[in-house]
Structure 1
């Protein structure tokens, strides 16, 4: 993804928030902390794991997805960043997803999350070993939530007899 100049500063800030919040809750880094802002943006964009985040709206909208995430969900940047994050789960899985996010809101993060998500074309995939964490801005205010998905498996379609 090539960012317009107007988005570069905003993206650098968002990447810094992703990194610092991840370190705050897990004690680990998403990327080498010695990278400069532009190098960090490129590294995360091309990371071997899917990375997504959503904002603080009542029905949170995705505000970031790296190339791995966009490919996994089968969307463009514009499509992904207009989608409420709840739509990443099938209706039957949304209550479980809400419980997960409530747990993260309360405890700060969760490691080793496993759950089913759905791509734009209807493909279902199982995410494994995901870390989901709260995002805090520079003042320590709640800024949203993020997920790092290191492993996934595309599930076979389920057919039912009529």
Structure 2
């Protein structure tokens, strides 16, 4: 996906409340900061060299966030990403494995060093590697969904 096909920064991608939820839940759950120094919501969305995605708590969770690196990997623009069920990020035969992962995250708070097979909009298959998946919980413990970060990906 080229920069020209990625839409302008949508306001929801820079929402302060969501950004605080994302970085604070990561720090509380994983035990280290998600970002360093003066990196902010705009940096995470537009410049981070790693992918970050998040989905809702719906029975069939919908993506609610995908930074530009994730958009590039999955070949969806923001407006498309935030309308699709997160289960569609994996092919049907791999969805049971993905659900087991998400269930483990719900039980344990997070998992790290995750590797999983995913599918892009075009049908291109790729491995995500170096993944951390965590519960999006606010300071009161209320669950808002789950988020994932992955640092590398390799086409199949």
Q: Does the TM-score normalized on the shorter chain lie above 0.5?
A: yes
Q: CA deviation at 1:8?
A: 7.0
Q: 1:60·1:84 contact (CA, 8 Å) conserved in 2?
A: yes
Structure of greater relative contact order (alpha carbons < 8 Å, 6+ residues apart): 2
C-alpha RMSD of the superposition: 1.4
How far does the alpha carbon of each residue in 1:61-110 deviate from its partner, in whole angstroms, 9 at most, with x for none? 00000000000000110100000000000000000000000000000000
Secondary structure, aligned partner of 1:31: coil
1:68 correspondence with 2:69: yes
Q: Which residue of 2 aligns with 1:19?
A: 23
Which 4+ residue blocks in structure 1 deviate beyond 4 angstroms? none
Q: Which residue of 2 aligns with 1:28?
A: 32
1:87 correspondence with 2:88: yes
TM-score by length of 1: 0.87
Number of aligned positions between the proteins: 148
Q: Which residue of 1 aligns with 2:4?
A: none
| Cα 1:82/1:8, change in 2 over 3 Å | closer
TM-score by length of 2: 0.90
| Cα 1:8/1:66, change in 2 over 3 Å | closer
Structure number with greater Rg is: 1
Q: CA deviation at 1:30?
A: 1.2
Q: 2:51·2:69 contact (CA, 8 Å) conserved in 1?
A: yes
Runs of 5+ consecutive residues of structure 1 not aligned to the other structure: 156-162
The 5-angstrom pairing of residues 139-150 of structure 1 reads 139-150=140-151
Runs of 5+ consecutive residues of structure 2 not aligned to the other structure: 1-7
